[in-house]
A and B are shown apart, each in its own frame.
Chain A
Amino acid sequence: MRRITMAIATAATLALGVAACGGTGDSGSSNDGAPVSKGTKLEAANITLWVGFTQRELGVVKDAVKQFEAANPQVHVKVVGGINDDKIIAASRGGKSPDVAQSFSADNAGAFCGSGAWINLKPYMDRDGISDAIFPPAPRAYTQVDGTRCALPMLADAYGLYYNEAMFKKAGLSGPPKTVSQLVDYAKKLTVKNPDGTLKVVGFNPDMGWYSNTPANFGPMFGGKWVDDQGKSTLGSDPAWAKLLTWQKQLIDWYGYDNLVKFQAGLGDEFSTSNAFEKGRLAMNVDGEWRTAFIANEVPNMQYGTAPVPVDDDNQSLYGGGYTTGNIIGIPKRAQHKEQAWALLKFLATADKAQVLLSNGLRNVPTTASSAKSPDLKPDAKFETFLKIFGNSHTTTTPITAAGSAPQELFNSFVDKWQAGRVKDLQGGLTDLDKQIDAQLANAQGEQVP
């Protein structure tokens, strides 16, 4: 706590210091936030790119940057890996700012856009004739706030269902479940219990909060909407959420909550070689496209398949969609070389060549519609499932707010109690949760909560 208090104090000190110093680094022809006229030659410059990637993945990014440098030899790019959002935020307040910054947290786009910490890219896009229609709806949504496009998507994650084909075969099941009732049926058939009643293998774990199981990932199964047109939380007013939670709780109760918690506690870490799906302790699991690369590396002989998440029996048209989120990339307002920064950003986020190279190297979903269809993408039927999910019109993302991931975290907290059986009035609880989230968002924007 003492460290947090000091951090607040230090942050405040820094902020006041910066405010007292006034704006810096916003002058010069290519540095005032306004693009130069079309056709102007890109001047020589040394620029810096901050990314969150490390080790092997950082090497992939550097390979893509080398292609940019080959096409623009007058621009030299220094790539710095291992950057998190705390560093990006600190650089926005003072000190040396990168020219281009990449973040793993699309949830924080609201803060970067709303505050002006990252510049509006629309003037550059308009000048160069780049429409944001080249991105599917979900990544288009999570890279802008209230009409301000301060970021572009640079690779995405899409979530689908992984299923163990060997276990399916043994249980006499032929293909993935497409509806939630099938999912429950399959889960029960695939579950194996020990003689003492504890769980040995779980068909499907519906516990949200564990591994990548979140309301965000499960929401598309029932078509749950997070907010209305006014940005107000709709977890209580959209019946899809209550339906999802009721369905989920029934399956948890079939396992027994305590039994399931004990089972989970005995499993390995999600991002280790002891991952429960890879170890054969789970027959089906909702996970991101990256798992295909993990499996190829860690258990290459595993027989498994991928499919979209099963959907509500009463709304089967949802099938094919899923949840997506991804990396965002933008230009901090204190960047020294904005034109060169835009050229690099444009290359990494919109050029098929770069998107394909990054996708093949990182096994993430490319974020432009054209690159997702590129013949140069490494062929992989299991990965291709996620390309289809990403491009599906029913695929959704979480709302971008000025309060970061607040709606998701408050929902997680509610679901935590619900699935343990501590919420007696689900509808009343969800309605209260809406009020809580709206109040949190209002306070986080400096508004008086009514």
Chain B
Amino acid sequence: MAPWIVGFSVFIAYPLITTVYLSFTHYDLLEPSRWIGLANYDYMFSHDKQIWPAIYNTLWLVVIMVPLKVMFAFGVALMLTRARAGVGIFRTIFYLPALAPPVAAALGFVYILNPATGPVNGALRLVGIDGPLWFNSPTWSKPALTLLLLWGVGNTMIIFLAALVDVPRSLYESASLDGASAWQRLRWVTLPSISPVILFAAVVGTIEALQLFDQAYVGATVAAGSASSAGDPSNDLGYPENSTLFYPVLLYQQGFRFFNMGYAAAMAVLLLVVSFAITMFIVRNSRRWVHYAGVGR
């Protein structure tokens, strides 16, 4: 048997099949699972009032945060290709945040965006603006998390950078000779050339958005002022007002705090299906705008 089959079976197929099986059971982590048919799915779609805010919040990230992240990473990479001096230093500076652990980064942003003592609102006050409540406001909590995720965009930025320096110079020279402006060179040379990378960044960004947990958990509990211990029921998951109750946060709450692992497995199955559907949607639509070198449309 080929080694990959062993790895695939142990790490992918068996856990996946088991998760699907557990979604049809009552399983509290301590007792053997008990078959309950579609009860978990019935609860999910008919009774769980937390799942819809969780789905809304997660889709908000997919629709708002992912495009911003792709554009920001692309923009930073584009700037770095234009830099005349100190390129190595700037690359390092822009990449460094990607190395920060998510928990530390979240703590840092809660501090920076603290509405009372944070430097951002302090600076805004100097110019006469009463800054928002950021992580303490249901309107601003997701934008605050988006800023945090944009700050840590280094990995995507590096991939864009590699793609940009790989675009043949001859294409730009030809376009320039034909009188193309900077915008036209970007629109008709750069973007088509790196479109496979844009697709990659969009798919990976979407999957990351669907899986966001650490930053949301830490940001919410610290901003609420209740971050004492992980299992403390006073920890306000989703604070403020369920605006950071993302799907993985709810899944964690059900599985590990409510001992409701069968239901958590059902949620995981739904997440898998939705992730697959969104990815397929992006990939299928990409045929119209992604160009692969040497492949005709």
Contact = CB atoms under 8 A, between A and B. Distances in A.
B234 A446 contact: no
A-B interface, 6 closest residue pairs, ranked by CB to CB distance from nearest: A446-B26, A1-B211, A9-B15, A266-B116, A405-B233, A115-B30
Contact of A443 (B34, B40, B133, B271): B40
Contacts of A104: 229, 231
A343 interface: no
A439 interface: yes
Given A8-B22, A13-B15, A262-B133, A209 B30 contact: no
A1 B229 contact: no
A8 B231 contact: no
B19 interface: yes
A42 interface: no
A119 B241 CA distance: 40
A422 B261 CA distance: 31
B187 interface: no
Interface in B38-65: 39-40, 42-43, 46-50
A375 to B, nearest CB: 33
A214 interface: yes
B194 interface: no
A12 B17 CA distance: 10
A233 to B, nearest CB: 14
Interface in A2-17: 2-6, 8-13, 15-16
B71 to A, nearest CB: 24
B116 A8 contact: no
B106 to A, nearest CB: 15
Interface in A396-445: 398, 402-406, 408-410, 412-413, 416-417, 420, 422, 432, 436, 439-440, 443-445
Contact of A444 (B137, B245, B260): B260
Interface residues of A, number: 74
Contacts of A10: 15
Contact of B15 (A6, A266, A416, A422): A6
A93 B32 CA distance: 9
B268 interface: yes
A446 B36 contact: yes
Contacts, number: 206
Interface of B: 14-16, 18-19, 21-22, 25-34, 36, 39-40, 42-43, 46-50, 114-117, 133, 136-138, 210-213, 223-231, 233-234, 236-242, 245, 247-248, 251-253, 255-265, 268, 271-272
Interface stretch (A74-82, A105-113, A172-180): A105-113
B208 to A, nearest CB: 9
Contacts of A209: 224-226, 234, 236, 239
Given A409-B257, A416-B236, A271 B212 contact: no
Nearest to A276: B225
B114 A446 contact: no
Nearest to B266: A443
Contacts of A93: 29-30
Interface centre among A16, A86, A117, A209 (most CB of B within 10 A): A209
A265 B136 contact: yes
A111 B255 CA distance: 12
Contact of A416 (B117, B233, B239): B239
Contacts of A6: 15
A176 B65 CA distance: 50
B260 to A, nearest CB: 4
A299 interface: no
A116 interface: yes
A422 B241 contact: yes
Nearest to A443: B43
B19 to A, nearest CB: 6
B80 to A, nearest CB: 29
Nearest to A16: B18
A211 interface: yes
B29 A15 contact: yes
24 contacts: A1-B213, A4-B213, A4-B252, A8-B15, A8-B265, A15-B27, A84-B230, A89-B30, A112-B30, A209-B225, A209-B236, A262-B115, A262-B136, A265-B223, A404-B233, A408-B233, A410-B50, A412-B233, A413-B236, A413-B242, A443-B263, A444-B28, A446-B262, A448-B39
Contacts of A405: 233, 257-258
B228 A271 contact: yes
Given A265-B117, A416-B236, A444-B260, A9 B241 contact: no
Given A12-B15, A263-B116, A449-B47, A210 B224 contact: yes
Contact of B265 (A12, A265, A402): A12
A238 interface: no
A35 to B, nearest CB: 23
A417 B242 contact: yes
Contacts of A406: 257-258
Contacts of A105: 231
A107 B260 CA distance: 14
Interface centre among B28, B223, B263 (most CB of A within 10 A): B28
B115 A261 contact: yes
A107 B19 contact: no
A2 to B, nearest CB: 6
Contacts of B49: 432, 436
A110 to B, nearest CB: 8
B211 to A, nearest CB: 3
B234 A8 contact: no
Contacts of B227: 269
A212 interface: yes
Contacts of A449: 39, 42-43, 46-47
B39 A446 contact: yes
A262 B46 contact: no
Given A104-B229, A405-B233, A443 B47 contact: yes
A72 interface: no
B271 A1 contact: yes
A1 B54 CA distance: 14
Nearest to A433: B49
A412 B115 CA distance: 23
